[in-house]
Amino acid sequence: MLLRRFFTTTLLWLFVISLKAQIPPGYYDGTSQLSGEALQIALHQIIQNHQVRTYAQLWQDFYLTDRRQDDKVWDVYSDVPGGTAAYTYDFFTDQCGNYSGEGSCYNREHSFPASWFDDQLPMYTDLFHILPTDGYVNNRRGNHPYAEVGQASWTSTNGSRLGTSATSGYSGTAFEPIDAYKGDIARGLMYMSTRYLGEDTNWPGSEMVTGAQPKPWARQLLLQWHLLDPVSEKEINRNNAIYLIQQNRNPFIDHPEFADFIWNPAAAVAENSLQLQLWPNPVTDEAKLSVHFTEVDQDFEVTVSDISGRIVFSVVPESRTPLIKLPVNHLLPGFYLLKVTGNDSQSTTLKLIKN
């Protein structure tokens, strides 16, 4: 009876998520024209003081935040995008528990290890960096930093690797997730550095972070992973679900361009002042485009052309919105060029891949 009641409540909750969990109007007010530490401070003030969960509540939260279309647990350490995972988990019945190897049970992985902040609340239960993952793989990862691994000493069934770091600036033991989830991990750690900015004075830190802030080598790595693996529909849905639970959001999912504006402003402000982020890419049905003018907000036009240069469709937003949705389900699979042109004639072009 209790389980039935939970699933009934959950279905209602998921319906509410679909209706209410988008970015609230004005949520990021005050961030325009900011960069570097000023932008990070502004974002911290927006996302701080979230609703704190208990550690036990995370089990039921995962059903709302990390559920695949087949109702299985979405485990980034075992999932094989486009393929078949060696094992899958059912919610609740497969919670750890003891494990003897991969495929035994799933538990609660702190992607930003708890030892780095001395097991304190509210960090210990902050969903934005806690993921349901195979217990054995979680144990192998331990509290090692993330990095690119050279020679692996151990490899999981989905290709996640443990071994000696090949990332410049760090030569110790590291853990490397598969490419499909590197951006997810990076944006979770970027969130932690911003949510707990100025609240990390007594954190032990690690070889990857000083307090909550990534060290220079790690900052570069996270930016690389952020670009390598753009924001996915999975992350957007997870962000929306966590917002209803914790009442705060991950800014680097809502506005991927914030990462460069904070940690790589020289790259963000390039020869022109028009910066774009497009996700997911490749895309099947609908792409999301973030448009940011670093000088003065202005009207703009979006055009999508095929490889011959023929414009297949164009969009002129009715208002100066920084985020627009682009339905592309009518396009044939292939490569396209997406161009945004401001009313001052500045333009930026991105490659769009239609599945």
In order along its 355 residues, the chain shows pLDDT tens digits of 444 444 444 444 444 444 456 789 899 999 988 889 999 999 999 999 999 999 999 999 999 999 999 999 999 999 999 999 999 999 999 999 899 999 999 999 999 999 999 999 999 999 999 999 999 999 999 999 999 999 999 999 999 999 999 999 999 999 999 999 999 999 999 999 999 999 999 999 999 999 999 999 999 999 999 998 999 999 999 999 999 999 999 999 999 999 999 998 665 544 446 777 788 878 888 888 888 776 667 788 999 988 677 899 999 987 666 678 899 999 998 878 888 888 877 777 777 888 8
Give pTM, 2 decimals: 0.76
d(Cα 164, Cα 173) in Å, to the nearest integer?
A: 5
**What CA–CA distance (Å, rounded) separates 350 from 355?**
16
**Cα 348 from Cα 298, distance rounded (Å):** 14
DSSP string, 203-250: ----SSEETTEEPHHHHHHHHHHHHHS---HHHHHHHHHHHHHHS---
Domains of the chain (ranges, CATH numbers): 2-254 (no CATH), 270-354 (2.60.40.3080)
